[in-house]
Chains A and B, each alone.
Chain A
Amino acid sequence: MTWKEKLAGQIPPAWAEEIDIYETQLELRKLGKIDEKLFAETRLRRGAYGQRYDNGQRFDGFRTQQLRYPKAGLTKGPDTEWDAPGMQRIKIPFGGLNPTQLETLADVAEEYSDGILHITTRQDFQLHFVHIEDTPTIMRRLAAVGITTREACGNSVRNVTACPLSGVCRTEAFDVTPYAKALTFFLLGHPDTQDFGRKFKPAFSGCEDEACGLVHMHDFGAVAKIQDGRRGFKVFVGGGLGAVPYQAKVLAEFLPVEELLPTAQAIARVFARLGEKQNRARARIKFLVDKLGIEEFKRLVFAERQTLPPDPRWTQFPPIEEKPIQPPGSLPAEQPPGFPAWLATNVYRQRQSGYATVTVACPLGDITATQARQLADLVRRFSGDNVRTSVEQNLLIRWVSEQDLPALYAELQRIGLGEHGAGTILDMTACPGTDTCKLGIASSRGLARELRARLAGQFFTLDEAVKGLKIKMSGCFNSCGQHHLADIGFYGNSRTIGNHKVPHFQVLFGGQWTHNAGRYGLAIGSVPAKNIPAVVERVTGRYVNERQPGETFPAFINRLGKAEARRMIEDLMQVPPYEQDPTFYSDWGDPREFSMGDIGTGECAGEVVSALQFELSAAERLNFEAQLAHEAGQFAKADELAYGAMLQAAHGLVRELWLDVPHEPAVVVAEFKTRLAGLFPAAQAAYLYKRHEGAPAATAEAVHRLIEEAQLFIEGAHVCADKLQQQKAAARDAILKK
């Protein structure tokens, strides 16, 4: 029995069909019938991402080895070996999970990955070392418990994040969860989100002053606000980290909740129409907002909003009902050893009296499959159904009765998840870095592991002001570790000393986590990786000794000034000669001599594949399936598929000129005739008209001819698509020049 057979009927039909299509695309790629770039973007939009060394090369410390995979020559993207291990990203909207989902995640981590669930800085999970051919099964097993991986990567709307305390927070305006969920499923697969030049990341916060959803660093951010008794959002657009960080701009001071989804849709249309498609480094929406100016961007968005056909989903916000399993209670007097320290850092008292939210600190965002199952048991026993992931790579158990806190702590200790220090200097955030990322320069996880080990031993003797600092690190300037937002941030880079490369980290001080990522840190200087622990020790020591009463770390750094901050660590920037100390020439946790040779081509930017190209690819797939049906003697089915292939191609072309074209064949054909008569080769267009107006092909010969004609129609569509794309680019340039 296969998982597809076992789970039949348990997966939402639309999701099941999508995964079947994806599986067919895998087979077509193996047959060489899908271009590698198109396949790369296809798998990225299903969350299947490349991983380090997937170009078939790896530096072993002495030389670059060729990794000779069995299916040599077959690729799953440009310069990406088919058999090379990859990563599967799994979207968790607003970080919300239930115990059954946690158990399924554990099972797939064990069976197809390395037994580890990794929580990302955007509330996703990632599985590493996954074979591409296992991905459809992973997707089916997750879909059966309500999890989709669709649009987890690629040029799409990524996971919609939200403050993990939404609904239980003491300072929020209201619970943003229903709105985050509604936006997730409204934009998921929406035709208006299929033509982006880069990814698009939304976030929600319940209040403006806390860290919450970090909306200022997002492409789209919404902060809950109540005005004149009405619920709405302060909406931000055009924020982002990456190599060039931008603070988001205010799109609307107050947008009533019923305007949230249509406004997001209008933004998507403007971004798809005017966003950069060629230069990947400037294709995020932050560059478009910057180029147009926020006032012009606003004007375009609200003008677009007026053109949108009404959609009933705009006002559907299904309530999220969380029911605690235990009655509220008070903290018992009897407490196990270690409990007070854990209580101080890992427990948040909810606004609902007698309940608390517990942060389960997951070191470097990792938990084992076994721990995930054990945690599912604890959630059922102490909470009910209510787990959330956090952007600090932890798990939160909500609705824990305060009387159960000591017992829950004891159980977490038993399963190795009872570490104190959540949200403190011990709770570091690190992206995968050189461990698995193709773009990683230095080992962010290796550094985090080292710093954690050093600080854990002295945590109880640290000054209280230091305990509360945040350290975040990324393996490169792309900021997946959110280093800009930390009191002390690092990102990996490299310097050449003599004939050797030395791993370094750029040091940033004074970023602001609160106020939704209110301020980005200042780059101070690049320090060899092996001296970073000394940087932490020195700057925290100076903060303890020189801070003024009540002075925060960012304020202290601001007062100190960039020049003095640099002077403080200048001696640590020096690298001893290789002959004197070769340890500087390898990275944390990696004994190989450091090299930049393993850096590959990143897939964060995806491949630029337009929505039209996807429709044409779908048309080709349908026509291929028509051939298979014809071979099997299923002539009626083959006829339907070949006809469907022409309609799909025609729909894609018409949609370039009319975004809201429906899929009804009569409308598609009529609009095709009207709008594309001068652009599409007439002889090939006639094949569509003939089949649309005539009877279905019934004999083997007639169906065979129809399939040939459909193929010619698709060829014509490709030619026409080029012309349309040129027209579109010219129109875009004209608007941007104006």
Chain B
Amino acid sequence: MITHKIGIKFFFTGPATKPLAEYIPVFHGWIRRQALAGHLLIDVHDYSHVHHGPGILLVAHEANLSVDEAEGRRGLVYLRKQPARPPEILAAARQAVTLLGEPVEPTFEVFVNDRLAPVTAADLGTALGASLTPKPVDPRARPTFLATVSR
């Protein structure tokens, strides 16, 4: 069985010119409306002062979402914390990025937030319904893949 501790990052298209702080009221609005179905949205955290960090973080019980700047590439990360099937995780991430309204690139990143989970690109790709290729990363980092939707 594939771990639910999966992260998905949709990269925003174009240069990141919008100040990160502008996402703070957006996420507060999401909490006010509990706008993400199937999620208990809890709080917003500002990490804009951190270099290539999680940027603006929206904490939910089920997942952490962030307008993330890892590796200097801005995008929306959806990181699942509570059990769910991989297609549900991908759907939730898509729901969040649609709600945010930022245009994103067709290729996205998938990472496994569990260093004990035995995951292969083939298995995870099948589970997500996407084509995955391993991304070269620091061997100490989480297993990471570049993904395109195959169906």
Contacts and interface: CB of A to CB of B under 8 A. Distances in A.
B85 interface: no
Contact of B54 (A115, A445, A449, A592): A115
A277 interface: no
Given A449-B49, A592-B28, A111 B54 contact: no
B48 to A, nearest CB: 7
A128 B59 CA distance: 11
A370 interface: yes
A96 interface: no
A111 B51 contact: no
B42 A62 contact: no
A68 B40 contact: yes
Contacts of B50: 116, 363, 366-368, 416
A110 B47 contact: no
B133 to A, nearest CB: 21
Interface in A37-88: 52-53, 58, 60-62, 65, 67-70, 83-85
B126 to A, nearest CB: 22
B53 interface: yes
Contact of A371 (B34, B51, B81, B115): B51
Interface string B1-39: 000010000000000000001001100100110100000
A370 B42 contact: no
Given A3-B116, A53-B43, A129-B64, A61 B28 contact: yes
Interface string B31-73: 1101000001011011111111110010101001010001000
Interface residues of B, number: 36
A219 interface: no
A6 B70 contact: no
B84 interface: no
Contact of A373 (B28, B64, B66, B141): B141
B2 to A, nearest CB: 15
Contacts of B24: 589-591
Contact of A114 (B21, B25, B64, B141): B64
A589 B40 contact: no
Interface in A410-468: 415-417, 435-436, 445-446, 449, 452
Interface in A395-416: 415-416
Contacts of B114: 111
Per CB-CB distance, the 5 closest pairs between chain A and chain B, nearest first, are: A416-B51, A60-B32, A591-B25, A363-B49, A368-B53
A373 to B, nearest CB: 5
**Dominant secondary structure of chain A at its interface with chain B:** mixed
Interface of B: 5, 21, 24-25, 28, 31-32, 34, 40, 42-43, 45-54, 57, 59, 61, 64, 66, 70, 81, 113-116, 138, 140-142
B47 A366 contact: yes
Contact of A116 (B28, B54, B113): B54
B63 to A, nearest CB: 11
23 contacts: A3-B116, A6-B116, A62-B32, A68-B40, A107-B115, A107-B140, A110-B113, A111-B113, A115-B53, A116-B53, A131-B81, A363-B49, A363-B50, A366-B49, A366-B53, A368-B52, A370-B52, A370-B70, A373-B141, A416-B51, A445-B46, A589-B24, A590-B24
Contacts of B21: 589
A128 B140 CA distance: 22
Contacts of A373: 138, 140-141
A289 to B, nearest CB: 39
Given A53-B43, A65-B31, A368-B70, 4 more contacts: A85-B43, A591-B24, A591-B25, A591-B28
B59 A69 contact: no
**Dominant secondary structure of chain B at its interface with chain A:** loop
Given A3-B116, A116-B54, A67 B42 contact: yes
A449 B52 contact: no
Contacts of B53: 115-116, 366, 368
B47 A116 contact: yes
Given A62-B32, A416-B52, A85 B59 contact: yes
A70 B61 contact: yes
A436 B54 CA distance: 16
A107 B5 CA distance: 14
A322 to B, nearest CB: 24
Contacts of A591: 24-25, 28
Interface residues of A, number: 50
Nearest to B33: A60
Interface string A118-132: 000000000011010
B59 A114 contact: yes
B61 A1 contact: no
A2 B45 CA distance: 31
Given A60-B28, A373-B138, A449 B46 contact: yes
Nearest to A5: B116
Nearest to A416: B51
Contacts of A592: 28
Contact of B48 (A52, A111, A449): A449
A592 B40 CA distance: 19
A364 interface: yes
B28 A368 contact: no
A110 B114 CA distance: 9
A435 B115 CA distance: 29
A652 B131 CA distance: 61
Contacts of A364: 49
A103 interface: yes
B138 A446 contact: no
Contact of A446 (B34, B46, B52, B66): B46
Nearest to A417: B51
A449 B45 CA distance: 13
A111 B66 CA distance: 15
Nearest to B66: A114
Contact of A368 (B45, B54, B115, B116): B54
A272 to B, nearest CB: 38
Interface string A94-112: 0000000001001100110
